[in-house]
Amino acid sequence: MDDYILEVKNLVKHFPVKGGGRKVVHAVDGVSLRIKRGATLGLVGESGCGKSTLARTIIRIYDPDSGEILIGGRNIANLSQRQLKPVRKKIQMIFQDPFASLNARMTVKDIIAEPLRVHRIGATKREQDELVYEILAKVGLERAHANRYAHEFSGGQRQRIGIARSLILHPEIIICDEPISALDVSIQAQVVNMLFAFQRELRLTYLFIAHDLSMIRYVSDDVGVMYLGKIVELSSGDELYKNPRHPYTQGLIQSAPAANPEAARKKKSIPIEGDIPSPISPPPGCRFHTRCKYAAPRCKTEEPELKETGAGHWAACHLLG
């Protein structure tokens, strides 16, 4: 468990602004993280902070502008699409929207079998079909579902189809990009428990992206907090929730609703005021200084580095130095 199967170093992904001249959207701006084999790293942050762009860049749906993406020690950041083909067997993705991520013109069997055909797994179509039936059973669907189309299923069933597609190649890493946010609350726990049953059985490694802090705490070994394209805090899950160091993390945790009314009344509030700045023109210095009530003059001009503030606990804040 001490080996890191996925490492990201100083990853950058910008998007040009149409009609904006040389302006770019700073979606991911120098992110570094790593995940131990068989563990789960939870990634949390406000909408628009770059979580999904980071996920799509790691899996090379988007080509990075700079930085490294190491899978098993091999840098895949600059590989061509042809060179990436064998790598894609090792890393797969479950998308946020089960309605948009499945081809409406293909049957469930064809959707799940497509990776098998691309990677030429299974000597015959019958062998591929049997592999599809096997994985359908694992995600709680029946053989009879294989010949239906995606629109015939509920949201929870569609996400199970997406999970089956991601598992069919027996990957080592799965990126879960808010896989339960589009599902009913009654279905969310079922899907999460199924994902982690697969993790125990297959020793999968997860990068789990969500905006629900309680869910991130439940599923994650380590947690990264992202703000405006950057990681501002990184720690083990228990340590981060007991001892948040960055003001943004403190605000996120304090703003999460408490299930117990008595606990909610006693809860100390540290509100995060204002709106997240535009990623086209991020503020100089610390990107959180425009919303931070502790901001000092230094915070407005000098960008803080992500530094270790305790054993395995990293934060990017001048006030901690």
Alpha helices in the chain (DSSP H): 51-58, 81-84, 108-118, 125-138, 155-167, 185-202, 213-219, 237-242, 247-255, 261-266
pLDDT at residue 291 above 60?
yes
What length does the chain have? 321
Which has the minimum average pLDDT: 1-5, 7-11, 94-98, 147-151? 1-5
Task: Look at the block and give the residue holding tokens 């990681």.
Answer: 231
Q: 265: which 2 tokens?
A: 């009344």
Within a 10 A sphere around the Cβ of 17, how many other Cβ atoms?
Answer: 12
Edge-to-edge strand list for the sheet holding 66-71? 24-36, 4-16, 66-71, 74-75
Tens digit of pLDDT for each residue in 119-178?
999 889 999 999 999 999 999 999 999 999 999 999 899 999 999 999 999 999 999 999
Domains of the chain: 4-90+171-320 (3.40.50.300)
For residue 177, list its beta bridge partners: 209
Tens digit of pLDDT for each residue in 15-33?
999 887 889 999 999 999 9
Nearest CA among 155, 156, 151 for reference residue 104: 151
The DSSP call for residue 27 is: E
Nearest CA among 197, 209, 161 for reference residue 33: 209
Across the range 206-220, mean pLDDT stands at: 90
Within a 10 A sphere around the Cβ of 159, how many other Cβ atoms?
Answer: 29
Residue pair 33/224 in contact (Cβ under 8 Å)? The answer is yes
Residue pair 92/84 in contact (Cβ under 8 Å)? The answer is no
Q: 299: which 2 tokens?
A: 């915070």
Question: What is the C-alpha to C-alpha distance for residues 6 and 93, in angstroms, rounded to an integer?
Answer: 14
Across the range 299-321, mean pLDDT stands at: 92
Q: 41: which 2 tokens?
A: 């790293």
> Global pTM?
0.91
Which has the minimum average pLDDT: 99-103, 142-146, 242-246? 99-103
User: What does DSSP say about strands 4-16 and 24-36: parallel, antiparallel, or unpaired?
Assistant: antiparallel
185-202 helix and 155-167 helix, angle to the nearest 10 degrees: 10
Give the distance, in angstroms, between the CA of residue 14 and the centroid of all CA atoms in the same chain: 18
Question: What is the C-alpha to C-alpha distance for residues 269 and 271, in angstroms, rounded to an integer?
Answer: 6
